[in-house]
Amino acid sequence: MNILEHIKQELPWLDGNTVYDLTRGKPAPEQLDITENYYSKLSTPYELDGIDLRNYGNPEGLPSARELGSKILKTNFDETHALDNSSLTLMHQIISCAFFLGFKSAKLYGHSKIICPVPGYDRHFKLLENFGIEMITVPFQKDGPDLNAIEDLINFESNIHGIVCVPRHSNPTGHTFSDDNVEQLFKLIEPLKENFSIFWDNAYACHDIEDTIQQTPADQIAKKIGLENNLFQVGSTSKITLAGSGISFISSSADNLSKFIDFRNAITPGPNKMNQGMHVKYFELVSIEKQMSELKKIIKPKFELVDHILEPIKDTGLCFYEKPTGGYFYSIDSAKSNADEVVQTCSQLGLKLLPMGSCFPYGVDPDKKNIRLAPTFPDLASLERCVTIFKNVLKYLN
């Protein structure tokens, strides 16, 4: 009997028709139902903060939406703008602006290289690849990016013009950077501050599901070291309210924000203030803390289920992972360099996973071990089946 036949015999519920999917970090319908429930109680505001929401203007966003952003990202109100629906789009626009106009201390060129801690967010890497920016990978240490590897790059590589980080519950590894790590990292960057961009994507700023260390706001550490013009923080309410229909935020120095508005003024005559108004009203009704605690009730059992199923094979050395304390992902390393075969075998059994290498620049995982699991979307019963397929495949292949 081959592996597929063995597993099909062990899992008699595999019917060859049902599609199981752990590819994308999407909120589950039940999470969105929470938002819909409160949302439906709101009446649409047409004026807020003395501003006519129906019209163009306010390129920096509504003051009360900016306040919301500064609360989520733990940034200063003055240095936080509330914009449209996607922080990934903002990253694209920041990078475009760095390319075409250049910020005071953050410019990008065709020969620029960006440091990428790996495994990381696939869309960041695709974005940078689309700009033709060379990505140089570094591994993680326990509490953030590997500082020795970064020091070596800074000492021996030319044209290093930036780094991209997800500092809390990193996608997909779940790393949360310690203050010490961030301070040391920024000190390493300091000699390059004439031209260096720190892309600080805080997509999971308030997405703790277990106790997680508190972090000093990155802008406070940056200011202490004189890097305020190098830091670009972004985030959004995509994984807080409605994915793709929320508000995104940018925080940077006044100088950078003014350049960014100038750049964006040729892209849009103003952000979607109606949506911003709805979100402001939403968080008058439900605090961020209450919203996140309701979401946690749905997400936490899913993360615990993944750990419950995989822990025995982790303990016997068939795979390795750190249980994340928040965010949206599990990052699993197979014990053998066979991630491709694992993904293919799962696919033949009806479970879709991201292709091997997805969490690495150019799709190349040098160790061929890493596999990302996104457990939030399926319901618990379906998730149990997804992870059981994955576990059985690892058992047979490793």
| Residues near ligand PLP (CB under 6 A) | 25, 86-88, 121, 166, 171, 201, 203, 236, 238, 248
Give 39 or 328: the residue with its C-beta nearer to ligand PLP. Answer: 328
DSSP 8-state assignment for residue 350 = T
Q: How far is CA 337 from the centre of its chain?
A: 26
- Considering the complex, what minimum distance in angstroms separates the CB of residue 16 from ligand PLP? 30
Q: Least distance to ligand PLP from the beta carbon of 372, Å?
A: 10
Minimum separation from the CB atom of position 172 to ligand PLP (A): 8
CB proximity list for 240: less than 8 A, separation 6 or greater: 72, 206, 246, 288, 291, 292, 295
The position carrying tokens 């982790």 is 314
Q: Which is nearer to ligand PLP, 173 or 236 (CB)?
A: 236
The least distance separating ligand PLP from the CB of residue 336, rounded to whole angstroms, comes to: 28
Q: How far is the CB of 203 from ligand PLP (least distance, A)?
A: 4
Could you tell me the CA-to-CA distances from 40 to 65, 279, 293, 334 in Å, in that order? 19, 12, 20, 45
Q: In angstroms, give the least distance from the CB of 320 to ligand PLP.
A: 22
* Residue for token pair 């292949």: 397
Nearer CB in complex with ligand PLP: 260/388? 260
Q: Which is nearer to ligand PLP, 92 or 385 (CB)?
A: 92
Token representation of residue 163 = 């780094």
> Alpha-carbon distance 227 to 219, whole Å?
8
Q: How far is the CB of 86 from ligand PLP (least distance, A)?
A: 3
Q: Which is nearer to ligand PLP, 193 or 328 (CB)?
A: 328
Looking at the Cβ atoms of 121 and 195, the one nearer to ligand PLP is 121
Instruction: Identify the DSSP state of 95.
Output: H
Least CB distance to ligand PLP at residue 171 (A)? 4
The span from the CA of 264 to the CA of 169, in Å, is 30
- Give whole-number Cα distances, 94 to 72, 250, 336, in Å: 20, 9, 39
Residue whose CB is less far from ligand PLP, 318 or 326: 326
Q: Which is nearer to ligand PLP, 24 or 323 (CB)?
A: 24
By 3-state DSSP, what share of the chain in percent is helix, strand and coil, each rounded to 5?
Answer: 45, 15, 40
Can you point out the beta strands (E) in 118-266?
A: 134-138, 140-141, 144-145, 160-165, 197-201, 231-236, 248-251
Per-residue b/e over 365-391, b at no fewer than 16 CB within 10 Å?
Answer: beebbbbbbbbbbbeeeebbbbbbbbb
